[in-house]
Chain A
Amino acid sequence: MSRLKEILDRGAFAVTAECGPPKGADPEVIMKKAELLKGRVDAVNVTDNQTAIVRMSSLAACVLLKNQGLDPVLQAVVRDRNRIALQSDILGASALGIRNILCLSGDHQRFGNQPQAAGVFDLDSIQFVQAVRNMREQGVILGGEALSRPPDIFIGAAANPFGDPFNFRVVRLAKKVAAGAEFIQTQCVYNLQRFEKWMAMAADRGLTDKVHILGGVTPLKSAGMAKYMKNKVAGMDVPEEVIRRMEGVPSKKQAEEGLKICVETIQRLREVPGVRGVHIMAIEWEEKVGEIVERAGLLPRPK
Chain B
Amino acid sequence: MITAEQKPLDEIRGTIASYQRILVLGCGSCVAECAAGGEKETGMLASTLRMAAKMEGREVLIREKTLERQCVKDFVILLDDVIHEYDAVLSLGCGAGVQAVADMFPEVPIIPALNTEFLGETKDQGLWVENCLGCGDCMLYHFGGICPLARCSKHLLNGPCGGSVDGKCEINPEVPCGWQLIIDRLEQHHALDRLEHIYPPKDWSKKQGGGPRKIIREDQQR
Q: List residues of chain A with CB under 8 Å of any chain B CB.
A: 79, 83, 105-108, 110-111, 119, 121-127, 130-131, 142, 158-160, 162-165, 167-168, 171-172, 174-175, 178-179, 187, 234-235
Q: Which residue of A lies closest to B193 (CB)?
A: A171
Q: For residue B179, which residues in chain A have a CB less than 8 angstroms away from its CB?
A: 165
Query: B162 CB to closest chain A CB, in angstroms?
Result: 4
Residues of A within 8 A of B198 (CB): 126-127, 130, 175, 178-179
Q: Which residues of B contact A (CB under 8 A)?
A: 153-165, 167, 170-171, 177, 179-180, 183-184, 187, 192, 195-196, 198-202, 204
Contact pick for B171, options A110, A162, A163, A168, CB 8 Å: A110
Given known A-B contacts A119-B154, A163-B165, A107 and B159 have beta carbons under 8 A apart: no
The verdict on A107 contacting B164 (CB below 8 Å), with A127-B201, A171-B196 known, is: no
Contacting A235 at CB < 8 Å: which of B157, B163, B200, B202?
B163
User: Chain B's nearest CB lies how many Å from the CB of A233?
Assistant: 9
Contact partner, B167, options A123, A130, A165, Cβ 8 Å: A165
Interface pair B201/A235, CB less than 8 Å apart: no
Q: Which residues of the other chain, A, contact B177 by a CB distance below 8 angstroms?
A: 165
Closest to B199 in A: A127
Q: CA A108 – CA B154 in complex, angstroms? A: 7
With both chains docked as a complex, state the minimum distance between the C-beta of A56 and any C-beta of chain B, in angstroms: 24
Q: Which residues of A contact B164 (CB under 8 A)?
A: 163-165, 235
Give the chain B neighbours of A79 by CB distance below 8 A.
154
- Collect the chain B residues with CB atoms within 8 Å of residue A165's CB: 160, 164, 167, 177, 179-180, 183-184
Provide the bound-state CA to CA distance between A158 and B163, in Å. Answer: 12
User: Once the chains bind, are B163 and A107 in contact (CB under 8 Å)?
Assistant: yes
With a 10 A CB-CB cut-off, give which of B164, B177, B183, B201 has the most chain A CB atoms.
B201
8 Å CB contact of A121 from B154, B167, B199: B154
Contact B170 A107 (CB under 8 A): yes
Closest residue on chain A to residue B163 by CB atoms: A234
Of the A-B pairs whose beta carbons lie under 8 Å apart in the complex, a sample of 14, sorted by A's number, is A105-B154, A108-B163, A108-B170, A121-B154, A121-B155, A127-B199, A131-B201, A160-B162, A164-B160, A164-B164, A165-B160, A165-B164, A168-B160, A235-B165
Contact check, B163 vs A175: say whether CB atoms are below 8 A apart.
Answer: no
Contact A122 B196 (CB under 8 A): no
Q: What distance in Å separates the Cβ of B170 from its nearest Cβ neighbour in chain A?
A: 4
Contact A163 B196 (CB under 8 A): no
Closest chain B residue, CB of each to CB of A174:
B196
Compute how far the CA of A175 lies from the CA of B197 in the bound complex, rounded to whole angstroms.
Answer: 8
Q: In the complex, A175 Cα to B198 Cα: how many Å?
A: 7
A168 and B162 form a contact (CB under 8 A)? no
Q: Indicate whether A187 sits within 8 Å of B158 (C-beta atoms), given known contacts A165-B167, A171-B196.
A: no
* Cα–Cα distance between A22 and B162 once the two chains are bound (Å): 25
B153 touches A105 (CB 8 A): no
Q: Measured between alpha carbons, how far is A234 from B158 in the docked complex, in Å? A: 19
Interface centre among A126, A168, A187 (most CB of B within 10 A): A168
- Whole-angstrom distance between the Cβ of A16 and the nearest chain B Cβ: 18
Give the CA-CA distance A95 to B162 in the complex, in Å.
31
Find the B residue at minimum CB distance from A123: B201
The 5 tightest CB contacts between A and B, nearest first, are A160-B162, A126-B158, A234-B170, A124-B156, A105-B161
Contact B162 A122 (CB under 8 A): no
- Minimal beta-carbon separation of B118 from chain A (angstroms): 16
Q: Name the CB-closest residue of B to A131.
A: B201
Chain B residues with Cβ under 8 A from A158's Cβ? Answer: 162
How far, in angstroms, from A124 to B152 measured CA to CA in the complex? 12
Contact B195 A168 (CB under 8 A): yes
Q: Return chain B residues, CB-CB under 8 Å to A126.
A: 158, 198
| Interface contact B153-A175, CB-CB below 8 Å | no
